Amino acid sequence: MGGLWADLILVLHFAFVLFVVGGLLLILAGAWRGWRWIRSPVFRYAHLAAILVVAAEALLGVACPLTVWEDALRGHAGGAGFIERWVGGLLYYDLPGWVFTAVYVSFAALVAYVLWYIPPQPKKRI
């Protein structure tokens, strides 16, 4: 049963990563294509908050709670973070943690810049 819960957490974690990375791509594409929904304040601030949490965890040296929970359910103790473990495994690189921290913080800065450059707009009321 622990494996099923661990798998569900893994799927949730993947969805979170997809929201952070894919969200930025959709915002950029939506600004270019004129999609109004990408200007939703709820979506935009939730997107910024998501990457800020990741960057803060990395800067503070705190393991992601989803990673800790998944590892505990799988019987693993500690170890690399979700992104570090899966991306590192896919690319066959053993990168130091500071590289991932730099990427997270840089990505957070990019999301904040895009929030300023392509600002959210509340729906106009008639």
- Residue 124 inside a domain? The answer is no
pLDDT of the chain along its 126 residues, tens only? Answer: 667 787 788 888 888 989 999 999 999 999 999 999 999 999 999 999 999 999 999 999 998 898 888 888 878 655 556 665 665 455 445 678 899 899 999 999 999 999 999 999 987 776
Q: Which of 82, 66, 57 is nearest to 9 (CA)?
A: 66
Q: Give the whole-angstrom CA distance, residue 103 versus residue 22.
A: 16
Q: Which two tokens stand for residue 40?
A: 């939703």
- Residue 123 inside a domain? The answer is no
First to last CA, the chain: 52
- Residue 125 inside a domain? The answer is no
Q: Which of 98, 18, 20 is nearest to 52 (CA)?
A: 20
CB neighbours of 74 closer than 8 A, spacing ≥ 6? 2, 3, 6
Q: For the chain, what is the domain count?
A: 1
pLDDT of residue 72: 86
Q: For residue 106, how many other CB atoms are within 10 A of its CB? A: 11
pLDDT of residue 75: 81
Q: Give the domain range for residue 9.
A: 2-117
